[in-house]
Structure 1
C-alpha cells in the first residue's frame, strides 16, 4: 500500500551560496501493507513529521523513491499530487485544521465540493459520514461551539468523506484529554477493522502507538523496527 525506498532528506539553511545543509532523514525504508495500522514513534525533531510530509507529497525526497498503491508518487507534479491526495488519502491533524467560519457540515462537505460532486449527493454523503462519527446532531455548529473531541471527529468525518483507502494521522490525540484520546483510538481501530482503512500514525505517545499492528521508531533521522518501549519515551 505504501512503500518508502531508501529515502534521504535534508534542509538547506541560509542564503544561496552560503547554505548550511542539515540532514534530516537517512536511508529510510518502510513498507506498509493494506489494512495495517502502523505507528511511527519518535521525539520532537526526530524526523517523523518530515517523513509524513514526504509520504503525503508536501515535500519531495532529496533521494529515494516513494510508491503509494503502486503509483510512483515521488515523481508527481504538484497538480498530479493534489488530485492523487484527494482520491487516495485522508488526513487527521493534531490541530484539527477545520475552517472556523464554516459549520461542521460544511467542513465535512468541502472535499466533495472540490471534487465537483452534485449538491444533493454531497449533502447525503456528508450527513451519512457525520452520523458515522456520531455527530449528526451537530452539523450546524461551528468549530468554536464544539469540544476538542467533537472537532477531531469532524476532522475524521472530513477525512472519510471520499472513502480514502489510506489515512495519515499526525499526532491525532495531541490536543485531546485522556477520555477523548481513548475514544478516538477506539474509533480508529473500528474504522480499520470495519472499513479496512490503512492508517499511518505519527506520534510521540506510547498509548497511541499501542493500537498499531506494528510500531517503528524514528530517532535522529534513522528508522528502527520493533525497538523496546523505554527507548522511545520522551
Structure 2
C-alpha cells in the first residue's frame, strides 16, 4: 500500500550566502502492507513529522521515492497531489484542526465539498459517517460544545468521509486524557479491522505504539532495527 525507497530530506538553514545543511531524514526505506496499522515512533526531533508530511505530499523529498497504492507520488505537482489526497488519504491531527465556526456536520462534510460531491450525496455520506463514529446526535454541535474525545471523533469522521484506503494520523491522542486515549485507540483498531483501512500513525506514546502491526523506529533521521524504548 505504501512503499518508501531511499528517502532523504535536507533543509538549508541560514542566509543565502552562508547556509548549512540539516539532514532530517537519511536513507529511509520501508513498506506498509494494505490493511496494516504502521506506527512511526521516535523522540522529538527524530524526523517523524517530516516523514508523515512527505507521505502526505505536503513537501517534496530531497531524494528518494514514495509509492502509494502502486502510484509513484514524488513526481506529482502540488495540485496533482492535492487531487490525489482527496481520493486516497485522510488525516487525523493531534489538536483536531476543526473549524470552530462550523458544526460537527459541516466539518465532516467539508472534504466532500472540496471534492465537488453533489449536495444530496454529501448529506448521505456525512450522516452515514456521523453514525459510524457515534455522533449522529451531536451533528449540530460546534467544536466548543464537544468533549475532547468527541472532537477527535469528528476529526476521524472527517478523515473517513471520503472513504480513503489510507489514514495518516499525527499524535492522534496527544491532547487526550488516558481514558479517552484508550477509547480513541480502540476505535481506530475497530475501523482498521472492520473496513481494512491502512493507518500510519506517528507517536512517542507507548500505548499508541502498542496497537501497531508494524513499528518503524526513527532516531536522528534513521530507521533503527529491532525494538527500542520510545
TM-score (norm 1): 0.97
Deviations 1:102-143 (A, max 9, x none): 000000001111111111111111011011001000010111
For residues 180 and 218 of structure 1, what CA distance do their matches in structure 2 show? 27
8 Å contact from structure 1 (residues 216, 226) kept in 2: no
Instruction: Give aligned pairs, total.
Output: 230
For residues 82 and 226 of structure 1, what CA distance do their matches in structure 2 show? 35
Structure 1 residues not aligned, in runs of 5+: none
1:42 aligns with 2:42: yes
1:218 aligns with 2:218: yes
Partner residue, 1:20: 20
8 Å contact from structure 1 (residues 215, 225) kept in 2: no
Partner residue, 1:76: 76
For residues 225 and 144 of structure 1, what CA distance do their matches in structure 2 show? 43
8 Å contact from structure 1 (residues 148, 176) kept in 2: yes
1:191 aligns with 2:180: no
Partner SS state of residue 74, structure 2: helix
Q: CA RMSD in A?
A: 0.8
Structure 2 residues not aligned, in runs of 5+: none
Quote how far apart the aligned CAs of 1:99 are: 0.5
Quote how far apart the aligned CAs of 1:208 are: 0.2
Partner SS state of residue 164, structure 1: coil
Q: Which runs of 4+ in 1 moved over 2 A?
A: none
Partner residue, 1:165: 165
For residues 216 and 225 of structure 2, what CA distance do their matches in structure 1 show? 5
Partner SS state of residue 74, structure 1: coil
Partner residue, 1:32: 32
Partner residue, 2:147: 147
For residues 181 and 225 of structure 1, what CA distance do their matches in structure 2 show? 28
For residues 162 and 216 of structure 1, what CA distance do their matches in structure 2 show? 27
Deviations 1:23-45 (A, max 9, x none): 10110001001001010101111
